[in-house]
Amino acid sequence: MGKSRQAVARRHHAQVTISDVAVLAGFSPMTVSRVINSESNVRDSTRAVVNGAIRKLGYSPNRAARSLASASQMQVCLLYANPSSTYLSATLLGALEQARENDTQLVVAECDGEADAERTIKDQLKGGISGFLLVPPLADSHDLLNLLKERDVPTVTMGPQLVGERISSVIIDDRSAARTMTEYLIGLGHRRIGFITGNPKYLVSKVRKSGYRDALEAAGIKWRPELVATGRFSYRSGLDAADRLLTLPEIPTAIFASNDEMAAATISVAHRHQIDVPGELTVTGFDDTLLATTVWPEITTIRQPISDMSHAAIDLLTRSIRASRAGGATECEHLTLDYSLIERESSAPPARRVPRDRIT
Amino acid sequence: MGKSRQAVARRHHAQVTISDVAVLAGFSPMTVSRVINSESNVRDSTRAVVNGAIRKLGYSPNRAARSLASASQMQVCLLYANPSSTYLSATLLGALEQARENDTQLVVAECDGEADAERTIKDQLKGGISGFLLVPPLADSHDLLNLLKERDVPTVTMGPQLVGERISSVIIDDRSAARTMTEYLIGLGHRRIGFITGNPKYLVSKVRKSGYRDALEAAGIKWRPELVATGRFSYRSGLDAADRLLTLPEIPTAIFASNDEMAAATISVAHRHQIDVPGELTVTGFDDTLLATTVWPEITTIRQPISDMSHAAIDLLTRSIRASRAGGATECEHLTLDYSLIERESSAPPARRVPRDRIT
DNA sequence: TTCGCCTGTGTTAGCGCTACCATCTGCACA
DNA sequence: TGTGCAGATGGTAGCGCTAACACAGGCGAA
């Protein structure tokens, strides 16, 4: 009697399965599976019938079963260091969506500086992570990228890398974007255009500055070192930089800050100096973070499609993991997405009269 | 011949499985499973041996297999309406982590107003979502909560609800927090304390205002309607409200804004009026969003443990889904987490001299 | 002793899906 | 007519894990 009478229904919630669909459609589960995965070798008429059945039953595939059967279980880790939340949340949203689409588990880890990043990476690798997505400023760290490259871990970065790093990335053309913004200011009639750089430690700062200089040069405007103030991407550093520019004997009619935080800081300094924005001073930023629409006047800025970028990055990453599992050589791919200039209230043509000296 | 010789190794990546552990430990896979899930009926000595084997092999369970076998596959949807990214990213991080821990798939959906929320909810339900996490201000919508309650969908909200809604929530005690902040200001020596309310449409605005009044009353300070300005949580509305307060014949020595955005706006207005913060005016906020540490001076504020809250909310949600699947009545549970007052640079005792009139 | 019952462990049968074949059909070509 | 081949479909055996039971041994109660 050891036999058994175990026809226990273990189904808890009578989920619609592929077999239910198969029965209704009059085909085998296998064929249904093929339709779901849109494989090619299925007759069109069959496909139609199966799709009909799927719709009728409201079937949706069970992810767990799918990844178990296809051994495609994948975990990727999104690594970030500076929780500039605006950037982060946009990144997360995009990444989450794509991860879901690709049946990939997304693990988010924060680390605190490069040394910590190294440890975090090692830990995560032990934990079964098979790929990394690095968001700025981690993408800038040569050592980190090297570590990952040495271990041959599929990795994608968001943001520019030094030339020669052989790691996939998703970026916008920061140089061209900065150039576009500067050209826009020139187009408005500005000639005395101040620039606030980002943290010189980061590559992206240099790239954006080159864009600014490119545009000036192309327009035949001589660039003046005194119009370039060094910032560090933070609001605080923006205050200092803006103060330097706005206490020049002859103040600029426009200031282009390398990110929105510093642009917001610039507006604040201008107001303290009783300088109207945009009436007397145009201020523009970069990134289109939340801050750009929080402050008043809202900031004209360059929009990075952050969500789309992380979307693309996760897709790139999962594809490259699959490729590396299949034994292929790890190709490195660079995706450049489009930016756009968002015109808001902080920019206007320069005041008609000769730029006045600052009132003291 | 029809028989079969299908001993095909389908393992792609020689993952360490529970059986490997079982063999090494000298027990059955089932026992290993019990250890992993820390069930109680395992001898301590056995547990130790199994744990040793797990460590030696670097075993980590396969989530897909686990949720497939236990039919615990769960998808919950985090629904949000106003992407105040700071709040959102903190929420996401906490939710993501807990979802992972609970083997739950997190789907994030944005909706745009209540009507849209209703449609989104219906869509998501069709898509196999079994529970919702509502973040402010969605938690305020009676209709939405009703819809969910009617359909008996497990739901948890973050933020306060109207009394009588029978839906689980994770909150901080906003009233007590506002009271704490006001008491702090009184403790510093302030007596003329302005208050900027949130959007009157939202419950939380009223609750915070009551806290402010509670504290004044308890300290025997008469509350003056002219010191309360109505805001709508936005920076822009904060500008207007602050301007009203700072153009009073006798301006307050401190202003408590119902969130950080409006506090930041207040600082900006103060600066435009050449009023020093905190020298001549103390400004405090609420929420401890990124903005609080972005602007200068950094804002003294109430910190909501947003990440912890979403963490707790997801846990509550998954537990209540499991309970409702098991057929239990849907208990509704309210979790109150601790807030804290973060003292930064925007607050100080009032200036010694008699509050001056605003310079015109 | 016999019965129940508890505790710790093993056995078996899936969860829902897909990889890997086998098979069947039709059709071109010799 | 047979042979080869491609395309469409089906059958079967798992993926790694756990629910639900089976069962051995110990212990107190009848």
| Contact between B96 and A90 using a beta-carbon 8 Å cutoff | no
First to last CA, chain B: 102
Contacts of A108 in chain B (CB under 8 A): 93, 96-97
pLDDT at A356 over 50: no
pLDDT (0 to 100) of residue B324: 78
Interface of B with A in 8-27 (CB under 8 A): 10-13
A318: Cβ contacts below 8 Å, ≥ 6 apart: A74, A76, A99, A102, A104, A131
* Burial grade of B219 (CB within 10 A; 0-12, 13-18, 19 or more): middle
With tokens 């401190």, the residue in question is B254
With beta carbons under 8 A apart, name residues in chain A contacting B68. Answer: 62, 64-65, 68
Highest mean pLDDT: which of A215-229, B8-22, B343-357?
Answer: A215-229
B31 pLDDT more than 80: yes
Question: Residue B358 pLDDT more than 50?
Answer: no
* pLDDT above 80: residue B162: no
Nearest residue on chain B to A128, alpha-carbon basis: B60
Q: Is A279 at the interface with chain B, CB within 8 A? A: no
SS3 A314: helix
DSSP reduced 3-state for A6: coil
Report the residue of chain B nearest A10, measured CA to CA: B71
Whether residue A62 contacts residue A15, with contact meaning beta carbons closer than 8 Å, is answered with yes
Q: What is the distance between the alpha carbons of residues A124 and B121, in angstroms, rounded to a whole number?
A: 35
Q: Of A59 and B182, which is predicted with more confidence?
A: B182
Across the A/B interface, how many CB contacts are shorter than 8 Å? 122
- C-alpha A122: how far from its chain's center? 24
**Residue A9 above 60 pLDDT?**
no
Angstrom distances, CA of residue B20 to CA of A68, A302, B17, B82, B340: 18, 54, 5, 49, 48
Q: Which nucleotides of D are covered by protein (CB under 7 A)?
A: 7-23
Chain B: nearest CA to A218, how far in angstroms? 35
B48-93 pLDDT per residue, tens: 999 999 988 888 888 888 888 887 778 899 998 875 666 787 888 8
What pLDDT band is residue A163 in, cutting at 50, 70 and 90?
Answer: low
Picking from B85, B100, B236, the nearest residue to A86 by CB comes out as B85
CB of A10 under 7 A from strand D?
yes
Rounded to an integer, what distance in angstroms lies between the CA atom of residue B258 and that of residue B343?
16
Residue of B nearest to A71 (CA): B12
For residues A206 and A196, what is the distance between their CA atoms, to the nearest angstrom? Answer: 11
CB-based contacts of A138, cutoff 8 Å, min separation 6: A79, A80, A81, A111, A114, A117, A144, A157
Q: Report chain A's terminal Cα–Cα distance, integer Å.
A: 102
Q: Residue A150 pLDDT more than 70?
A: yes
pLDDT at B8: 44
Rounded to an integer, what distance in angstroms lies between the CA atom of residue A75 and that of residue A62?
Answer: 18
Q: At A336, is the secondary structure helix, strand, or coil?
A: strand
CA Rg, chain B, in Å? 27
Judge: B84–A236 Cβ closer than 8 Å, yes or no.
no
pLDDT digit string (tens) for A35-68? Answer: 988 888 888 888 999 999 998 888 888 888 888 8
Question: Which residues from chain B sit within 8 angstroms of residue A257, using beta carbons?
Answer: none
pLDDT of residue B13: 54
A67 or A86, higher pLDDT: A67
Q: What is the DSSP string of B229-297?
A: EE--SSHHHHHHHHHHHHTSSS--SEEEESSHHHHHHHHHHHHHTT--TTTT-EEE-SB--HHHHHSSS
pLDDT of residue B4 exceeding 50, the answer is no
A2 touches strand D (CB under 7 A): yes
How is residue B37 annotated by DSSP? T
Tokens of residue A310, six digits: 């992380």
pLDDT of residue A214: 97
Q: pLDDT tens digits, residue range A231-274?
A: 999 899 999 999 999 999 999 999 999 999 999 999 999 999 99
Beta bridge pairs of residue B197: B230
Output the pLDDT for position A81.
85
Cβ of A6 near strand C (distance < 7 A): yes
pLDDT of residue A280: 96
Residues B202-214: pLDDT tens digits? 889 999 999 999 9
Residues 25-84 on A with a CB inside 8 Å of B are 58, 60, 62-68, 71, 73, 83-84
Q: Is the CB atom of residue B48 positioned under 7 angstroms from any atom of strand C? A: no
Q: For residue A236, what are the contacts with CB-CB under 8 A and spacing of at least 6?
A: A265, B296
- Residue from A211, A207, A143 nearest A180 by CA: A211
Quick one: closest CA in B to A58, which residue? B126
- Which pLDDT band holds residue A2 (cuts at 50, 70, 90)? very low
Q: How far is CA A289 from the centre of its chain?
A: 11
**A296/B265 CB distance under 8 A:** yes
What pLDDT score was predicted for residue B219? Answer: 97
Of A84-93, A117-126, A170-179, B350-359, where does the model show the most confidence?
Answer: A170-179
Which residues of B in 15-74 have their CB below 7 Å from strand D's atoms? 15, 17-19, 29-30, 33, 36-37, 59, 61-62, 65-66, 68-71
Q: In terms of C-beta density within 10 A (0-12 exposed, 13-18 middle, 19 or more buried), how is residue B50 classed?
A: buried
Are B85 and A289 within 8 A, CB to CB? yes
Say what the pLDDT of residue A38 is.
Answer: 86
CB atoms within 10 A of CB A72: 17
The one-letter amino acid at B74? M
